């Protein structure tokens, strides 16, 4: 071992050990911060997608039958049952429609007395499409069925919802991808800074004849460990943040359901570990 090497380890050894630990802690902190931001935006994106799906489920189509042709309901129901574009349907008979109207009138239900024998109301189906974009196509198909008088759905509202949901989904995807790329860029530059800070140590190892594989090996292992530790810490922070945030929002905004993040927790952990280890 050369005199310069001995002098380096005796004089600057403790200084470099402290520097290495400091840089490792800083690297872990940056990985945690970057992945935490990514995780939060992933959760936002998942909830935006979930809320858009809930909005889709509120779109109903009303399929009115022709007066006196309620017997065709069996054929129409069979068509709805086999149609892959239909998520859910329910038949309301004329008697049920009249009873429902009485319930809505409440104390004024007496106004409808005597209509049981000559019920002016028609039977109808309440149909929910699988996706909102299927609404128009499904309505056109239903109008061609024998016994169907009219298919009603809020066409303008459906068109607006379709555009809004597409924007929400695109925004979520682009947001997550953008934040993810920024996180990888930050983590990669952190590694470069760490290597630059230890350039003297690397130069001495090369001076004494160490190969590139021998030099890079400890850095690869150290980077892997830093990435795994940072990923796990970020994952724990993200889960805790989501738990307390959703608990608060659920009590404040009662008309919106939020995603149960436990469904996605292993996927998020996998993304974090792959990103951190990479």
Kindly write down the DSSP assignment for every residue of 4-32, as one continuous string.
HHHHHHHHSHHHHHHHHHHHHHHHHHHHH
Mean of per-residue pLDDT scores for the chain: 75
With a pLDDT cut of 70, the percent of the chain lying above it is 70
Tokens of 47: 């909830």
* Confidence at 203, pLDDT banded by 50, 70, 90: confident
**Burial call 21-41: b when 16+ CB within 10 Å, e when fewer:** eebbeebbebbbbbbbbbbbb
Helix (H) or strand (E) holding 265: helix 265-277
Tokens of 117: 């024998």
Predicted local distance difference test score (pLDDT) of residue 195: 63
Higher pLDDT, 37 or 112: 37
Helix (H) or strand (E) holding 258: none
Is residue 214's pLDDT more than 70? Answer: no
105-116: pLDDT as tens digits: 777 766 667 666
Tokens of 185: 């860029």
Is-contact 108 101, C-beta < 8 A?
Answer: no
Helix (H, G, I), strand (E, B) or coil at 129: strand
Residue 115: C-alpha distances to residues 76, 110, 112, 209 (Å) = 26, 10, 6, 102
Helix (H) or strand (E) holding 66: none
The 86-92 sheet, strands edge to edge: 86-92, 124-129, 61-65, 148-152
Predicted local distance difference test score (pLDDT) of residue 32: 80
Range scoring the smallest mean pLDDT among 3-12, 155-164, 209-218: 3-12
* Confidence at 232, pLDDT banded by 50, 70, 90: confident
Burial class (CB in 10 A: 0-12, 13-18, 19+), 196: exposed
- pTM of the predicted protein model: 0.60
Beta bridge partners of 63: 125, 151
Report d(CA 222, CA 212) in Å as an integer.
16
Nearest to 196 by CA among 13, 9, 26, 6: 26
Question: Left if phi > 0, otherwise alpha if psi is -120 to 50, otherwise beta: which for 67?
Answer: beta
Higher pLDDT, 254 or 43: 43
Question: Left if phi > 0, otherwise alpha if psi is -120 to 50, otherwise beta: which for 147?
Answer: left
Report d(CA 44, CA 93) in Å as an integer.
43
């Amino acid at each position: 071992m050369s005199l310069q090497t001995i002098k380096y380890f005796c004089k600057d050894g403790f200084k470099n050990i402290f520097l290495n630990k400091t840089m490792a802690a800083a690297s872990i902190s940056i990985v945690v911060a970057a992945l935490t931001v990514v995780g939060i935006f992933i959760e936002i994106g998942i909830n935006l997608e979930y809320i858009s799906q809930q909005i889709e489920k509120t779109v109903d189509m009303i399929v009115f039958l022709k007066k006196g042709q309620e017997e065709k309901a069996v054929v129409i129901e069979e068509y709805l049952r086999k149609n892959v574009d239909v998520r859910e349907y329910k038949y309301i008979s004329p008697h049920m429609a009249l009873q429902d109207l009485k319930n809505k009138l409440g104390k004024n239900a007496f106004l409808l007395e005597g209509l049981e024998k000559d019920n002016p109301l028609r039977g109808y189906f309440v149909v929910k499409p699988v996706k909102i974009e299927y609404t128009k196509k499904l309505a056109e198909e239903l109008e061609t069925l024998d016994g169907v008088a009219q298919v009603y759905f809020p066409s303008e509202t459906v068109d607006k919802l379709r555009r809004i949901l597409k924007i929400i989904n695109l925004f979520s995807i682009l947001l997550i991808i953008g934040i993810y790329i920024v996180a990888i860029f930050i983590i990669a530059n952190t590694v470069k800074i760490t290597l630059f800070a230890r350039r003297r140590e690397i130069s001495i190892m090369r001076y004494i004849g160490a190969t590139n594989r021998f030099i890079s090996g400890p850095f690869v292992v150290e980077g892997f460990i830093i990435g795994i530790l940072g990923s796990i810490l970020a994952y724990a922070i993200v889960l805790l943040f989501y738990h307390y945030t959703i608990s608060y929002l659920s009590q404040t905004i009662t008309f919106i359901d939020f995603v149960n993040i436990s469904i996605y927790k292993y996927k998020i952990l996998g993304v974090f570990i792959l990103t951190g280890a990479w």
